[in-house]
Amino acid sequence: ISLSLFQVMNLNCSLWQDNGISVKHFAFAKFSEVTEECFLLFTFILLMFLASLTGNALIALAIWTSPVLHTPMYFFLANLSLLEVGYTCSVIPKMLQSLVSEARGISMEGCATQMFFFTLFGISECCLLAAMAFDRYMAICSPLHYPVRMSRGVCAHLAMVSWGVGCMVSLGQTNYIFSLDFCGPCEIDHFFCDLPPILALACGDTSHNEAAVFVVAILCISSPFLLIVVSYGRILGAVRVMSSPEGRHKALSTCSSHLLVVTLFYGSASVTYLRPKTSHSPGMDKILSLFYTVVTSMLNPIIYSLRNKEVKAALWRILGRKK
Write the pLDDT tens digit of every residue in 82-131.
Answer: 998 998 899 898 888 888 877 778 888 898 999 999 899 989 988 999 99
What total of structural domains would you count in the chain? 1
- Residue 76 inside a domain? The answer is yes
Write the pLDDT tens digit of every residue in 63-78.
Answer: 888 888 888 988 998 9
- Residue 304 inside a domain? The answer is yes
Higher pLDDT, 288 or 232: 232
Model pTM?
0.83
Which CA distances in Å does 278 have to 29, 124, 210, 282, 300?
21, 28, 13, 12, 32
* Dist. CA 212–CA 217, nearest whole Å: 8
- Residue 174 inside a domain? The answer is yes
- Residue 14 inside a domain? The answer is no
* Dist. CA 233–CA 47, nearest whole Å: 37
- Residue 310 inside a domain? The answer is yes
- Residue 77 inside a domain? The answer is yes
How many CB atoms sit inside 10 A of residue 126's CB?
A: 26
Q: What is the CATH number of the domain that holds 290?
A: 1.20.1070.10
pLDDT score of 3: 38
- Residue 210 inside a domain? The answer is yes
How many CB atoms sit inside 10 A of residue 252's CB?
A: 15
- Residue 137 inside a domain? The answer is yes
Q: What is the residue range of 289's domain? A: 33-319
* Dist. CA 142–CA 319, nearest whole Å: 36
